[in-house]
Amino acid sequence: MSLETVIRSIFSTLFLASVIRISTPIIFPAMGGLIAVVTGVPNMALEGIMNVGAFVGVMVSAYTGNVWLAILAGIVAGVLMALLLGLFHIYFKTNLFIGGLAVNLMASGGTVFLLYIMTGDKGNSASVKSLSVPNWEIPFIKDIPFLGDVISGHPVFTYLAFLSVILVYIFLYRTRFGTHLRAVGENPEAATTLGIDVKKSRMIALAISGVFAALGGMNLSMAYLQFFQKEMAAGRGWIGIAAVHLGARKPLGVLFASILFGFADAISNQLGSLNIPSQLVQTIPYITTVVALAVFAIQQRQAALERMKRYQKEHLEAISANASKAE
Amino acid sequence: MKSFFESKGFRELLRIVLAVTIGLALGFIITLFVSKDPVGAYKSFLLGPISRLNRIGDWLEESLTLILLGLVICIVFGASQWYIGVEGQMVLGAMAAGCVALYVPIPPLPRILLAFLAAMIVGALWGLIPALLKAYYNANELVTSLMMNTVALKIFEYILKAFIMTPKSRSISSELIEKPFRLPTFIPNLPFLQGIREIWMKQTSVTIMVYIVIAAVIIVYYLLYKTPFGYELRTVGLNTKFAHYGGINVKRTIIMSILVSGLVAGLAGAHLTLAIHNKIISNMTSGLGFEGINIAILAGNNPLGVPIAGLLYGYLRAGSDVMERSSDVSRELVFVIQAMVLLLVTAERLLPTIQKRVADIKENSENGTNGKPDVKNVKEGDSHVA
């Protein structure tokens, strides 16, 4: 395929639809990461929880034949993993980074361990028949020519992901409990004096992040693909954490950052059909993440410097004003 | 004797022993659920590595890699840098060492030395981007280093498939490195050691890396605890602001900590190609990326503790391989055990609290008589003031 076809296909409805679909498993962990970060407990176990969610969802759907029960089980498993991290960090004082890495290790080892027991295979769960979530054809919108092709017909999870951005915004900025969580993140001591239970708030925030990460994982194994694969999250949990930084910890910003990473992912999928080595093309999403983090960090740095200069100037002006008054 | 049992070091040791014991017990409980012959499986797991000479060799070789990885993490975590780009540095180091050993047309000794040098330099340079971003712009090094890992793995696969793989090779790998360019066995060629040397060479392939790793442990310890650089590094690790006000160049220290750790990571990569596989193969570093963290944490971030922790985890890994081959339990069980141990060892409030509480109770009962006069004095003082 020539470059021209690739470029043309990038501007097609199919590509835009694929950006939306590929962004979904980044939006979910990013939203989970956001809630955990604003509460002051950056959850570094998102990657592992995604793997667990993906695995449990597939296995329960295969054994019970009920998609909704499978989703519920996946969420419960994700919450349990997040609470394990919370228990050790908040009550037993494990370092949050190391605790997160430990949970990731447990998740990637544990899922492969159980996969081998249940299917006799260590790579994927293709041998058991698991279910996937239904797609949703949006009434009326699906008949609109361009828009219908882009927006309609995605798995239910995709709509849930975009809806969750609005829900997270309302939760964090418009509800009493969400405000409490932010207060705990800003200043735990002050929050304590106001009678907010810091430990409980942080446990709940971690549990919510577990729900989102598990949904992100199940989106991979029950919508994007129809089976579980070893290390299925493939760095998306970490990219979600990058999206939280890049989106300046605001729900809408995080959404746009996630879509940016989804876009990079989709581009790399498209370029795969060109005559470029596939391994190099596959690095695009990861390099994009590093570049985006770098640009964001540099920008933050400059903003801070400018702020400092402004204060300095104001301060000097105030001093000189005082001096002239004294004269 | 008594003072030793109440010392901090003993408490630390006890905590580690407890954590490992609980982890292994948990592993056994899991085995009970999943295996038809749990006792047999666990026996092969715990005793497998020492049951045969070649398995002891495997254990030692595995441990050497792990010890190097533990040292890497000791350095970066010592500076409180959550840098975990070891896997990327290691895999590219392995590639560099392999390329030199395979293709540079110079005699054996300089070729091997050059291979080590290349691996270490490549390892260090690969850490440069996250290091600079962290030092100058405070970009999250955990995420950037993980992303760079994946990039490194893809580049490794690309180079291997596009340039190194020969059409006739059946698996995705390079040709074998020729005999004279491999590392010699670790037992020196002396008359009275001839017998042992023969047996070891026949059954195992433990190389002179043993001595290199021992040297690396000592050098890293010396670097961290006996040099100005190490002092600066640890000060930055304890408190960045304090280090800054104390006149330490924090940026340089952060960058150097990651670069120095990269040298060791490259060395680990060279060990993979030159000593373990003797060729460049696909998925060379699978499952090793986070091993260093387990080991450094278990060793209390002290380079001198790393060999012990490395031998322990090398033993568990070798044991899990034996278990997988001889029973129905897969080797991933060891990751679950390791994760549990990691959580327990770092849980400051869990295991030592029990210990400390016991010590507190003892102290109270012993100091009971000494404590009373003090209270009296204070009370008298108070009344005096009043």
What torsion, rounded to 10 degrees, do the Cα atoms B164, B167, B169, B173 define?
20
Q: Is residue A162 part of a domain?
A: yes
A241/B161 touch (CB, cutoff 8 Å), yes or no: no
Kindly list the residues from chain A whose CB atom is less than 8 angstroms away from the CB atom of residue B130. 290
Q: Is residue A182 part of a domain?
A: yes
Residue A241 sits at the chain B interface (C-beta within 8 Å) = yes
Q: What is the tens place of the pLDDT at every residue in A237-254? A: 988 998 998 888 899 999
Residue A190 sits at the chain B interface (C-beta within 8 Å) = no
Backbone angles phi, psi at B287, to 5 degrees: 80, 0
> What's residue B357's pLDDT?
60
Q: What is the tens place of the pLDDT at every residue in B61-82? A: 889 999 999 999 999 998 888 8
Give the count of alpha carbons within 13 A of B128, CB side only.
Answer: 7
**pTM, two decimal places:** 0.85
- ipTM for the whole complex: 0.83
For range B96-107, the mean pLDDT: 88
In angstroms, the separation between the Cα of residue B238 and the nearest Cα of chain A is 14
Mutate to test the interface with B, among A286, A287, A295, A301 (most CBs of B within 10 A): A286
In angstroms, the separation between the Cα of residue B346 and the nearest Cα of chain A is 5
B348/A105 touch (CB, cutoff 8 Å), yes or no: no
Q: Where in chain B is the domain with CATH 1.10.3470?
A: 54-328
Q: Is residue A113 part of a domain?
A: yes
In angstroms, the separation between the Cα of residue A252 and the nearest Cα of chain B is 21
Kindly list the residues from chain A whose CB atom is less than 8 angstroms away from the CB atom of residue B142. 44, 97, 238
Cβ-based burial of B137 (10 A; exposed 0-12, middle 13-18, buried ≥19):
middle
> Which sign does the torsion angle of CA A133, A134, A139, A142 carry?
positive
Number of domains in chain A: 1
Q: ∠ CA(A124), CA(A128), CA(A134), 5° rounding?
A: 95
Distance between CA atoms of B313 and B319, rounded to whole angstroms?
Answer: 9
As given in the structure block, the two tokens for residue B148 are 């760079």
CB–CB contacts below 8 A, A to B: 141
> What's residue B383's pLDDT?
36
Chain A: residue whose CA lies nearest to B149: A286
Confidence check: pLDDT of A290 > 70: yes
Instruction: Tell me the percentage of chain A whose pLDDT exceeds 70.
Output: 98
A110-126 in b/e form (b: 16+ CB < 10 A) is bbbbbbbbbbeeeebbe
Q: Domain of residue A21: give its range.
A: 3-237
Kindly list the residues from chain A whose CB atom is less than 8 angstroms away from the CB atom of residue B139. 293-294, 296-297
B333/A109 touch (CB, cutoff 8 Å), yes or no: yes
Confidence check: pLDDT of B9 > 60: yes
Q: Which residue has the higher pLDDT, B233 or B173?
A: B233
Mutate to test the interface with A, among B164, B290, B343, B353 (most CBs of A within 10 A): B343
Which residue is it, tokens 């981007």? Answer: B129
Q: What is the tens place of the pLDDT at every residue in B310-332? A: 999 888 888 888 888 888 888 88
Kindly list the residues from chain A whose CB atom is less than 8 angstroms away from the CB atom of residue B343. 84, 88, 94, 99, 102-103
Distance between CA atoms of B379 and B372, rounded to whole angstroms?
Answer: 11
Kindly list the residues from chain B whose CB atom is less than 8 angstroms away from the CB atom of residue A230. none
CATH architecture of B54-328: Orthogonal Bundle (1.10)
In angstroms, the separation between the Cα of residue B200 and the nearest Cα of chain A is 33
Kindly list the residues from chain B whose CB atom is less than 8 angstroms away from the CB atom of residue A26. none
Element (H, E) at A154: strand A154-155
> What's residue B6's pLDDT?
63
Residue A228 sits at the chain B interface (C-beta within 8 Å) = no
Residue of A113, A122, A238 with shortest CB distance to B336: A113
Helix B38-47 × helix B306-326 angle, to 10°:
140
For range B254-277, the mean pLDDT: 91
Kindly list the residues from chain B whose CB atom is less than 8 angstroms away from the CB atom of residue A245. 140, 143
A44-53, A116-125, A142-151, B308-317: which has the minimum mean pLDDT? A142-151
Residues 154-183 of B with CB under 8 A from A: 154-155, 157-158, 161-162
Distance between CA atoms of A320 and A314, rounded to whole angstroms?
Answer: 10
